[in-house]
Amino acid sequence: MSFFSTITSKIHTWEQLPATLERWRKAGEKIVFTNGCFDLLHFGHLHYLADARDLGDRLVIGLNSAASVRRLKGPTRPINDEITRTHLLAALEVVDAVVIFEEDTPLELIKLVQPDVLVKGGDWKPEQIVGSDVVLAKGGKVLSLPFIQGYSTTNIERKIKGN
C-alpha cells in the first residue's frame, strides 16, 4: 500500500466509521474524540492533537465541513477546502480517523462515536463541551486541554495580511 493510500484510509464517512470503531473496541482500545475546523494547521494544533492522542489508543477527529466553518467563522473561511484539511489531518501519525460533519456542533457525531474520552482545546469547562453529557453518561471522561499561546489560525491570517 502506498503512503498516500495509508493517509486516505484514515478518512471515513459516517457509514464507514462504525465498523472501524467496532474493530478498535473489540481490540480493547480506548477511543479519544475531538473536533474542530483545523483550517490552517499549525504547531498549536499538532501539540493539542498529540496531547489528545496520549489520552487513549485511537484518536478520531470530527472535522467541520466547509459550510459549517462559513456559518461559524464567516464568509472568508475556511481558507483550506475539505479535501486539504482532511488529508493534512489524516497524514498525522497521531490521528487514526477523520470524519467530516455538516452540523454546527459535533453532537450527532459524538453520539455515533461514543468515545471513551472527549477532548476540546482552550478554556472550555468540561461541562460546557458539546457532547459531554453523552460521554459522561456512559462513564467516559471529558477534558479541556490548554492551547499553546501565540498559535492560532487567526494569528496566521493576521501575519499574512500584514496586521
* CATH number of the CATH domain containing 72: 3.40.50.620
Terminal CA-to-CA distance of the chain, rounded, Å? 45
Angle made by CA atoms 147, 87, 111, in degrees to the nearest 5: 65
Q: How far apart are CA 119 and CA 135, in angstroms?
A: 11
Tens of pLDDT along 132-153? 999 999 999 999 998 777 666 6
Which residue is it, cell 490548554?
A: 146
E strands, the chain, are 11-12, 31-36, 58-64, 97-101, 117-121, 141-145
How many Å separate Cα 108 from the centre of its chain? 14
Tell me the residue range of the domain where 111 lies: 3-161
Q: Give the chain's count of helices (H) and strands (E).
A: 8, 6
Question: Residue 128 has what DSSP assignment?
Answer: G
Strand order in the sheet with 117-121: 11-12, 97-101, 58-64, 31-36, 117-121, 141-145
Q: Considering its fold, how many domains does the chain have in total? A: 1
Tens of pLDDT along 66-113? 999 999 999 989 999 999 999 999 999 999 999 999 999 999 999 999
Predicted local confidence at residue 53, as pLDDT = 98
